[in-house]
Amino acid sequence: DAGVIQSPRHEVTEMGQEVTLRCKPISGHNSLFWYRQTMMRGLELLIYFNNNVPIDDSGMPEDRFSAKMPNASFSTLKIQPSEPRDSAVYFCASSPTSRRVYSYNEQFFGPGTRLTVL
Amino acid sequence: SQELEQSPQSLIVQEGKNLTINCTSSKTLYGLYWYKQKYGEGLIFLMMLQKGGEEKSHEKITAKLDEKKQQSSLHITASQPSHAGIYLCGADMNRDDKIIFGKGTRLHILP
């Protein structure tokens, strides 16, 4: 069974360019999370969806960041325009169900996309 | 301020030695997750603790949650090179879907 799939694995772009990161969650999972990891700030939650609906986007740093989940099997995180300080590893994670239904909520992580903005 | 503090930030131990990593919260925890991350890869779930005083083990890794549910420790017995990586604790602080992660502990095992 395939895990969470992210693409691309590596992205190098120039400042000002648009960047789109893609995620395919595990089939049947209802919740999807986007994280950003840097040495300075660690692993930060950017936004999460439940049943394709954005629930909490308080971690999205600026209006330059946007995320969509058009269906249960696909999500995108877009940065427009990109800046050097956006350089980080971006992770997507999915979980089987909402915490509100069951007592806990194990998240399954993808391999990440390493973004470098020059 | 960081809601979840991990210590130490990095750890170098000789193969075969025991070690402990700590995770301390400023709030009561409704769930505490331990993940391992190999360098350059995603996070792998290790275990999850919910009840005060709870302890779980997986192979040579044991995790405990204190009675007040504000501190957890991860203990590795007889460390091996395969244990090397970054260990992250994550906390459910609001009984919702969000997990707040600590900054991680980088573990190096010397042969």
- Residue B68 to residue B59: CA distance in whole angstroms: 26
Look at residue B97 in the predicted model and tell me its pLDDT: 79
Inform me whether the pLDDT recorded for B101 exceeds 50.
yes
Residues B45, A106: C-beta atoms closer than 8 Å: yes
Kindly report the nearest CA distance between residue A29 and chain B, in angstroms. Answer: 13
Average pLDDT of the residues in B51-64:
92
Inform me whether the pLDDT recorded for A105 exceeds 90.
no
Inform me whether the pLDDT recorded for B33 exceeds 90.
yes
Mutate: best of A44, A104, A113, partner B, most B CBs <10 A: A104
Look at residue B51 in the predicted model and tell me its pLDDT: 87
Judged by CB atoms within 8 Å, which residues 31-50 of A form the interface with B? 31, 33, 41-45, 48, 50
- Cis omega before residue A96 (within 30°)? no
- Residues of chain B in contact with residue A4, where contact means CB-CB under 8 angstroms, are 42
Look at residue B26 in the predicted model and tell me its pLDDT: 87
Residues A99, B95: C-beta atoms closer than 8 Å: yes
Kindly report the nearest CA distance between residue A61 and chain B, in angstroms. Answer: 16
Look at residue B47 in the predicted model and tell me its pLDDT: 92
- Say which of B41, B98, B101 has its CB closest to residue A43: B101
Q: B19 with B79: CB under 8 angstroms? A: yes
- Residue A27 to residue A74: CA distance in whole angstroms: 10
Per DSSP, the three-state class of B82 is helix
Inform me whether the pLDDT recorded for A97 exceeds 80.
no
Q: B37 with B89: CB under 8 angstroms? A: no
Look at residue A98 in the predicted model and tell me its pLDDT: 62
Inform me whether the pLDDT recorded for A104 exceeds 70.
no
Percent residues over pLDDT 70 in chain A: 92
pLDDT tier for residue B1 given thresholds of 50, 70 and 90: very low
Look at residue A54 in the predicted model and tell me its pLDDT: 95
Inform me whether the pLDDT recorded for B43 exceeds 60.
yes
**B→A interface, C-beta within 8 Å:** 31, 33, 35, 41-45, 48, 50, 88, 92, 95-104
Give pLDDT tens digits for B10-19: 999 999 999 9
Average pLDDT of the residues in A80-87:
96
The sign one gets for the Cα dihedral A8, A12, A15, A17 is: negative
Average pLDDT of the residues in B58-80:
93
Please give the residue that has the higher pLDDT: either B64 or A39. Answer: B64
Residues B43, A48: C-beta atoms closer than 8 Å: no
Please give the residue that has the higher pLDDT: either B39 or B45. Answer: B45
- The pLDDT mean for chain A works out to 92
